[in-house]
A and B are shown apart, each in its own frame.
Chain A
Amino acid sequence: MIFNDFNPLEDKIFRIIDNDGEVINNEWMPTITDETVIKAYKSMLFARTADEMSVSYQRQGRMFTYPPCVGHEAIHIAAGLIIREDDWLVPAFRELGVMLAKGVRMKEIFMYYMGFEQGSNFQEANHVLPICIPIGSQYLHATGIGYSVKYQKKDEVVFPFIGDGGTSEGDFSEALNFAGVWKVPVIFTIQNNQYAISVPVQDQTKSVNLAVKSIAAGLPGVKVDGNDFFAMYAAYQEAAEYARAGNGAVLIEALTYRKGAHTTSDDPTKYRTKVEELEWAKTDPLLRLKKYMDRKGIWNENETELIEQYKQEIDAEFTEAENYTPYQLEDVFKYMYVEMPDVLKKQKADYEQFQNWKESRK
């Protein structure tokens, strides 16, 4: 078992391929077809393309602040391949690839970042919660869902995500602890991308790593090379089996690097160096998987053309989002309660009177 053999207390890291895409840990190589590997790479490529375009749209002034996911693709796509249609995704806000795998459309992502809450009402994705910005709070929700599906005897597993910064929040520890006590089917992922805005993980905790925090909650934990697709895939595969068998929750620390800024309004040059960025760039997930595929000679599609195709698809999604029905006054009130109480009806009516007055003055 990965979780047994890679003891986080010894600061072991679970890795299968190196930076050159060479398999260095063959015994742990998961069972996975070449087709799946290719599909994974293409999904990662799509996610990265979408991410880059999102940043570009923001720069063009067509979308507001966006948190880039570039660098996290292996984690996302690996999870995306394991997560089933009925499994639950409980995201923070940097899980684009997993959301896409669950059936969230880029149009919905774009709508959200343009400022339409409607973008969080995923039309085709089942069991995906909206993005959760209050750091760490979503982990508790995941534990609760875990209890619920266990109680209802459903064969569903919960996949919450958090960042390295989030592990300092009380909710993080509480969620793990409860999950341990209740023995719920939850696969907790920490995307340790080294930074919480400007704070490096070394200043976030003096713990040897983040995976060890599972021990305090009585859960198995493992530190994985998050930029290693195969390691992530294997880890999720094992974790899902473990959880579906009723053994309870696990914690996966996925080590990666936040290649982009915290958001499009953040300037990383203030707190980290180009040198560091270049070092980490060598571990890039797409790069490594590509090299693996080249080494095995299993993929021969034209990547450039593929990217072009993705760009068109993504741009079409963006156009759809831009042309979405304009926000109505009613939308401000409609979803506060299942049934609108009188006080809100009155506030809306008063505002409409104001609008009439405004119109009459023109």
Chain B
Amino acid sequence: MSVMTIVQAINNALDIKLEEDKNIVVYGEDCGLEGGVFRVTEGLQKKYGIERVFDSPLAESAIVGTGLGMALSGLRPIVELQFDGFTFPAFNQIISNVSRMHNRSRGKYKVPMVIRFPYGGGINALEHHSESPEALYAHIPGIKVVIPSTPHDAKGLLISAIESDDPVIFMEPKRIYRAIKQEVSEEKYSIPIGKAKVLTEGTDVTVVAFGAMIRECQKAITMAQDAGISVELIDLRTIYPLDKETIAESIKKTGRLVIVAEAPESFGVGGELMAIANEEAFLYLEAPPKRVMGFDTIAPMAKGEHFHLITPDRIFYEIERTVKF
């Protein structure tokens, strides 16, 4: 066991898999020598050599496109895109090819690749560094989208993602990259993709969130407890495919649903979960499901970010309103 941050846990996962499987390569901008702008791949080039862990030229489309080529021909690439807001040059490769190769070749070609990038706001950054594009990616058939919220989960989920023969988008909540420490086993272990986790059990309302929002929800839950509200908190962990069963069971138990996510409200994960509530638990609903999400605006820059960031009191406000419905 060792105390790790999310950054260290991911580094550890990469280390374990690079050791185990010689066909794994890791690359992206500044990933090799510098070890990544967030130091996630620190030390790996030194340990595994420049052919396996390296810097690429500055071109996201090329990073993903070449990664696809590698995945089709015997390697298991783990590519890094530097920031959420810069993944979009690669969007074409993802939606047009990465997600389709397996289907296009009727199973003859698999795409065992992982595309990693830090996402999310709350770091006073400039434009394009605070995006939460999970819905954009989750809406593409043929790929999986995974988002951990703790060091332990980050390691286990990444190992699953790497070992999966499907292409996986692995989004890392940069706001809490180093804000949480946890004792994590140094051994290899994996956490299944597609399984949500009930973090706290409760009876009055189900709160569903993921990534950096989990921590904010936990603070809100403390506020709720003081107000006598019993909250059940679910960490989605995988956005696509969603763990409908866990979510539905919880809603059936509590009859109320609050979804918390950073991305713009319209056409996002919130709407999807509300659909599930209707489809799977309609007769159990005692209040309309509520999404607590970002505005349909570009994330404001630092001086305006506090309006936009979802804070524990805003989450509590909506929890209380839902329970009092």
Residue interface bits B302-318, CB-to-A below 8 A is 1, else 0 = 11110110000110010
Q: How far is the CA of A112 from the CA of B303 in the complex (A)?
A: 10
Q: Are A270 and B34 in contact (CB under 8 A)?
A: yes
Cβ–Cβ contact A197 & B89, under 8 A = no
How long is the Cα–Cα vector from A114 to B303 in the complex, in angstroms?
A: 7
Residue of B nearest to A348 (CB): B295
CB pair A204–B317 under 8 Å, yes or no, is: no
User: What string of 1s and 0s marks CB contacts (under 8 Å) between A114-136 and chain B?
Assistant: 11110000000000000001111
Given contacts A166-B58, A199-B29, contact A115 B301 (CB under 8 A): yes
- How many Å lie between the Cα of A168 and that of B304 in the bound state? 34
Contacts of A333 in B (CB 8 A): 295, 297
Q: Known contacts being A196-B29, A197-B29, is A347 close to B296, with CB within 8 Å?
A: yes
- Does the CB pair B55–A117 fall under 8 Å? no
The residue of chain B having its C-beta at the shortest distance from the C-beta of A329 within the complex is: B307
Residues of A within 8 A of B33 (CB): 198-199, 270-271
Contacts of A197 in B (CB 8 A): 29-30, 34, 37
Q: Which 3 A-B pairs have the closest CB atoms?
A: A115-B302, A198-B34, A168-B57
- Asked whether B61 lies within 8 Å of A327 as measured between CB atoms, the reply is no
Q: A199–B126 contact, CB under 8 A?
A: no
Partner of A199, one of B30, B62, B301: B30
A169 contacts B295, C-beta separation under 8 Å:
no
Indicate if B128 sits at the interface (CB-CB under 8 A): yes
What are 11 sample pairs from A and B whose C-beta atoms fall under 8 A apart? A64-B126, A134-B88, A165-B58, A168-B58, A168-B62, A197-B29, A203-B57, A205-B57, A327-B304, A333-B297, A347-B296
- From B89, B129, B296, give the contact of A344 (CB < 8 A): B296
B58, B295, B301: the one contacting A135 at CB < 8 Å is B58
**B59 engages A327 (CB within 8 Å):** no
The size class of the interface chain A forms with chain B is: 35 or more
Known: A64-B126, A65-B124, A198-B34. 8 other contacts (CB 8 A): A115-B305, A116-B303, A135-B86, A168-B59, A270-B34, A343-B266, A343-B296, A354-B317
Interface residues of A in 337-354 (CB under 8 A from B): 343-344, 347-348, 351, 354
Is B202 among interface residues, defined by CB-CB distance under 8 A?
no
- In chain B, what residue has the closest Cβ to A265? B37
CA A271 to CA B30, docked complex, whole Å = 10
CB-defined contacts of A136 to chain B, threshold 8 Å: 58
**In the bound complex, CA of A344 to CA of B33 (Å):** 45
Contact of A203 among B37, B55, B298, B300 (CB under 8 A): B55
- B265 contacts partner chain A, Cβ-Cβ < 8 Å: yes
Q: Number of residue pairs across A and B with beta carbons under 8 Å?
A: 116
- Collect the chain B residues with CB atoms within 8 Å of residue A271's CB: 33-34
List residues of A (307-361) whose CB comes within 8 Å of B's CBs: 326-327, 329, 331-333, 336, 343-344, 347-348, 351, 354, 357-358
Q: A170 interface residue, CB < 8 Å from B?
A: yes
**Whole-angstrom distance from the CB of A206 to the nearest CB of chain B?**
10
At the interface, yes or no: B19 with Cβ under 8 Å from chain A? no
A351 to B265, CA, bound (A): 13
- A351 to B297 Cα, complex, angstroms: 13
Contact partner of B307 among A113, A327, A357, CB < 8 A?
Answer: A327
Determine the chain A residues whose CB is within 8 A of the CB of B60 once the complex forms. 169
Within 8 Å CB of A347, what residues of B? 265, 295-296
Q: Is the CB of B59 within 8 A of A117?
A: no
Which B residues are in CB contact (< 8 Å) with A117?
300-301, 304
Chain B residues at the A interface, C-beta cutoff of 8 Å:
29-30, 33-35, 37, 55, 57-62, 85-86, 88-89, 124-129, 265-266, 295-298, 300-305, 307-308, 313-314, 317
Closest to B86 in A: A134
Q: Could you tell me which residues of chain A, from 148 to 185, have a CB within 8 Å of some CB in chain B?
A: 165-166, 168-171
SS of B interface (majority): loop
Complex CA–CA separation, A358 to B305 (angstroms): 17
**Contact A357:B317 (CB < 8 A) given known A115-B124, A116-B301:** yes
Closest to A333 in B: B297
Q: What CA separation (Å) do A89 and B285 show in the bound complex?
A: 57
CB distance from A180 to the nearest CB of B (A): 20
Nearest-CB residue, chain A, relative to B298: A336
Instruction: Given A168-B58, A199-B58, verify A358-B297 contact (CB < 8 Å).
Output: no
B85 surroundings in chain A (CB, below 8 A): 133-134
- Report the minimal beta-carbon distance from B272 to chain A, rounded to whole angstroms: 18
Cα-based distance from A347 to B296 in the complex (angstroms): 8
Complex: chain B residue closest to A169, CB-CB: B59
Which residues from chain A contact B58 at a C-beta distance below 8 Å? 135-136, 165-166, 168-169, 196, 199, 204
Q: How far is the CA of A54 from the CA of B66 in the complex (A)?
A: 39
CB neighbours of A336 from chain B (8 A)? 296-298
Minimum CB–CB distance from B132 to chain A (whole Å) comes to: 16
Beta-carbon contact of B304 and A358 below 8 Å: no
**Residues on the A chain within 8 Å of B34, using CB:** 197-198, 270-271
Instruction: A165 to B56: give the CA distance in the assembly, Å.
Output: 10
Q: How far is the CA of A133 from the CA of B126 in the complex (A)?
A: 8
Chain A residue, CB-CB nearest to B57: A168
Judge whether A115 and B304 touch: CB under 8 Å. Answer: yes
In the docked arrangement, what's the CA distance between A111 and B184, Å? 42
Docked Cα-Cα span, A113 to B124, in Å, equals 10
A136 to B128, CA, bound (A): 14
Cβ-defined contact, B300 with A204, below 8 A: no
Report the separation of the CA atoms of residues A198 and B33 in the bound assembly, to the nearest whole angstrom: 8
Contacts of A357 in B (CB 8 A): 317
Report Cα–Cα, A136/B60, bound state, in Å: 11
Q: How far is the CB of B181 from chain A (nearest CB, A)?
A: 21
